Chains A and B, each alone.
Chain A
Amino acid sequence: AQSVAQPEDQVNVAEGNPLTVKCTYSVSGNPYLFWYVQYPNRGLQFLLKYITGDNLVKGSYGFEAEFNKSQTSFHLKKPSALVSDSALYFCAVRGYNNNDMRFGAGTRLTVKP
């Protein structure tokens, strides 16, 4: 079955600095990759996805992610972090012709003023 690894439990950045949240995946065949964000006491909100095409995908709230097939990675990025970006971020993978979606353990992003 497919799997996702988020190597960092916690990422701290200063407001205005660029941020990166890392994700690597394992799947048979071509992957469908996703990023979600969770604010306290809320469900998960979809941010962006990679299905095919350009390796750099853009999503909500100024976030983008870069798909790297050779490194099996899908890192989330934002050029300039906001305090309001502080939340729990999850990477997920779904294989083509695969019905289930697997999530990583999550990375808590803290943006300090």
Chain B
Amino acid sequence: DAGITQSPRHKVTETGTPVTLRCHQTENHRYMYWYRQDPGHGLRLIHYSYGVKDTDKGEVSDGYSVSRSKTEDFLLTLESATSSQTSVYFCAISGADMVMNTEAFFGQGTRLTVV
């Protein structure tokens, strides 16, 4: 398995509280992604990063922010958690080589419940 670690793996939080999820990689890959997985919606891209301090929005970015201060770490923050953000969150990484390293490798996921 690719060296991707997500933490925490499970979290229950209250509505209105801030939450930060961490993704750590040991592969030195350029691209990092945060997705959420919900039944009937598949995986939807929240934010992604194409380098240190370089990030961009995905298709469901409202209510989320990200930061990447080091190549190996990509943080996802829910500024004020809502019940609609209850989901399973996946981090993924991929390389910069557009032929050899185009596929993404996924972490094990973080199950977040907002009550």
State whether A105 touches B90 (Cβ < 8 A).
no
Q: What residue in chain B is nearest A94 (Cβ atoms)?
A: B102
CB distance from B30 to the nearest CB of A (A): 9
CB contact list, A58-74 vs B, under 8 A: none
CB contact list, B86-112 vs A, under 8 A: 90, 92, 94, 98-99, 102-109
CB distance from B18 to the nearest CB of A (A): 25
Contacts of B8 in A (CB 8 A): none
CB contact list, B28-73 vs A, under 8 A: 31, 33, 35, 40-45, 48, 50, 56, 58-59
- With most chain A CB atoms within 10 A of its CB, the pick from B48, B105, B106 is B106
Question: What number of A residues sit within 8 Å (CB to CB) of B?
Answer: 25
Tally of A-B residue pairs with Cβ under 8 A?
61
Cβ of A54 under 8 Å from chain B: no
Contact of B56 among A45, A100, A101 (CB under 8 A): A100
Q: Which residues of B contact A (CB under 8 A)?
A: 31, 33, 35, 40-45, 48, 50, 56, 58-59, 90, 92, 94, 98-99, 102-109
Question: Taking A43-B106, A46-B104, A101-B33 as contacts, is the C-beta distance between A106 and B42 under 8 angstroms?
Answer: yes
Contacts of B92 in A (CB 8 A): 44, 101
Contact of B102 among A51, A90, A105 (CB under 8 A): A51
Measured in the bound complex, the distance between the Cα atoms of B98 and A76 in whole Å is 22
State whether A100 touches B103 (Cβ < 8 A).
no
State whether B35 touches A100 (Cβ < 8 A).
no
Measured in the bound complex, the distance between the Cα atoms of B94 and A100 in whole Å is 10
Contacts of B45 in A (CB 8 A): 100-103
